[in-house]
Amino acid sequence: MRDAYHEELDSIGDGLVEMARLVGSAIGRATTALLDADLKIAESVIAADEKVDDLQRDLEQRAIALLARQQPVATDLRIVVTSLRMSSDLERCGDLARHVAKVARLRYPNSAVPSDLHPTILEMGQLAQRLVAKAGQVITTKDVDAAMQLEQDDDEMDLLHRTLFQHLLDDRWSHGIETAVDVTLCGRYYERFADHAVSVAKRVVYLVTGEHADELTTTA
């Protein structure tokens, strides 16, 4: 049986997994709101972000209480400090999903994204959702190989982001400046969302190996 201390540590982990689930759902729904110009879904994403913020604040307080009460050292200390950082990353993912939803709301009843860019934005949204789902999984499994895999998925996001820019900068772009601004910002939001998901995974690598992910080579 686990003692109260490790139970509390586990429950902080569970909280992080729950945050990952919530922000994954949020970016998926925000993408739907953006592409379908669905105001209701946009509003629901914007409202739901408060829950993510509350969860983060709660996790933070529990982590600090744990530090004060149990004074962990070595690996346990590293777990608590890393949890604090992961909760920041995931909270930020929530903000970025909310930003996407706000663009959707701003342009309602139109879609902020022209139809020829729907496939790219859809892919970015789906990839973002997969990335944070994997990050959530890695928090539980502590699977270093799976964690390192996220960086490769992130390369895919960079590729999609570049595709977006190619469309924007193509001479045949006919959607005007406002749409270019919207697409530029949304592209940035998806890219940053992915960065934070990768960052969560990298922190797991650091936890398990004691080395920063950048210093390891993949086993692939």
> Which residues of this chain interact with a second copy, rule CB under 8 A?
64, 67-68, 71, 73-74, 77-78, 81, 84-85, 88, 165, 168-169, 173, 177-178, 180-181, 184-185, 188
CB of 165 to a second copy, least distance (A): 7
CB of 198 to a second copy, least distance (A): 14
Residues 6+ apart with CB under 8 A from 31: 100, 121, 122, 124, 125, 126, 128, 129
CB of 95 to a second copy, least distance (A): 10
Match 């020829």 to its residue by tokens: 116
Residues 6+ apart with CB under 8 A from 15: 55, 58, 59, 62, 87
CB of 173 to a second copy, least distance (A): 6
CB of 38 to a second copy, least distance (A): 24
Which is closer to a second copy, CB of 88 or CB of 137? 88
Orientation of helix 118-141 relative to helix 74-107, angle to 10°: 160
CB of 170 to a second copy, least distance (A): 9
Which is closer to a second copy, CB of 47 or CB of 64? 64
Which is closer to a second copy, CB of 81 or CB of 146? 81
Count CB neighbours of 188 within 10 A. Answer: 14
Which is closer to a second copy, CB of 36 or CB of 178? 178
* Residue closest to 29 by CA, chosen among 108, 128, 110: 128
Decide: 201 and 138 in contact? Cβ < 8 Å. yes
Token output for 199? 């960052």
CA distances (Å), 55 to each of 65, 89, 94, 193, in order? Answer: 15, 13, 11, 18
Which is closer to a second copy, CB of 36 or CB of 54? 54
- C-alpha to C-alpha distance for 102 and 30, rounded to whole angstroms: 9
Which is closer to a second copy, CB of 28 or CB of 94? 94
